[in-house]
Amino acid sequence: MRRRFFCVLLLLVIGDVVWIHWYCKQAIDLVSVPVAACDIYARTQIDASMLEYVELPSAYVQDHAYRKEEDIVGKYTELGYKIEKGSLFYTGSLFHEKDLPDAPSLKLKKGQTAFTLPVDLVKLSGNTITEDQKVDIYVSIDQSKGAPLVDKLIQAVRVVGIKDRNGYDISDADSSHIPYVAILAVNDEQIMYLKKAERIGEIDILAPSMQYLYEEESILNEESSILSHLE
């Protein structure tokens, strides 16, 4: 009899707890939302293991907070921004890779530096040169006598970004779509040649007649007639 009494009492307590939980959930409108399962540092691509779900009052979850995992996974945290463990994810703090302010630097390989070259539609061959394409770098130097000296300096250089005057990627909806700078992935040791070429001559990029199919990039033309003027 006593055992039956305690079983009934236990069931009543459990029932009360369930009812109170249900009532509170209805009263404060709890919603399940994704939060950071760990500290997430700047320029980190988010995967599903970095998320966990918690229930929060809907009034606490602001309109610009993400509520679905698929809207978060695959995006990057912005430069200089850390998401603390347990924090919500907000629309202004996550970006697709191409929309990051420093997106081109993410595409650099080990031993490469981003070289920024002022361009216009003429230099980009009427927009036929595009991001991720490999191009050749030519340098021209005026001579005191005769025609300018022109030759290929570096070949198979990857274009990692093309931006307008306001810093928008040229494909961005907010862009003017008028190219202002091209960002090139150049081997570290070649930067000194390009810096000197800027001072004493002019740099152009040209698309090769056939695209490079090999993986090697930023290959210095050791036989370039320009090279001796840059050393």
Domain boundaries of the chain, sorted by first residue:
2-95, 103-230
Say what percent of the chain tops pLDDT 90: 39
> Mean pLDDT over residues 160-185, rounded?
85
pLDDT at 139 over 80: yes
What average pLDDT does the structure give for the chain? 83
Confirm if 227 and 160 have CB atoms less than 8 A apart: no
pLDDT score of 106:
77
CATH class of the 2-95 domain in this structure: alpha beta
Confirm if 211 and 182 have CB atoms less than 8 A apart: no
Comparing 71 with 124, the larger pLDDT belongs to 71
pLDDT at 5 over 50: no
CA dihedral sign of residues 27, 32, 37, 39: negative
pLDDT at 149 over 50: yes
pLDDT score of 192:
95
- Band (pLDDT 50/70/90 cuts) for residue 3 is low
pLDDT at 157 over 90: yes
Comparing 125 with 198, the larger pLDDT belongs to 198
Show Cβ contacts of residue 165 under 8 Å, excluding neighbours closer than 6 positions.
176, 178, 180
pLDDT score of 73:
93
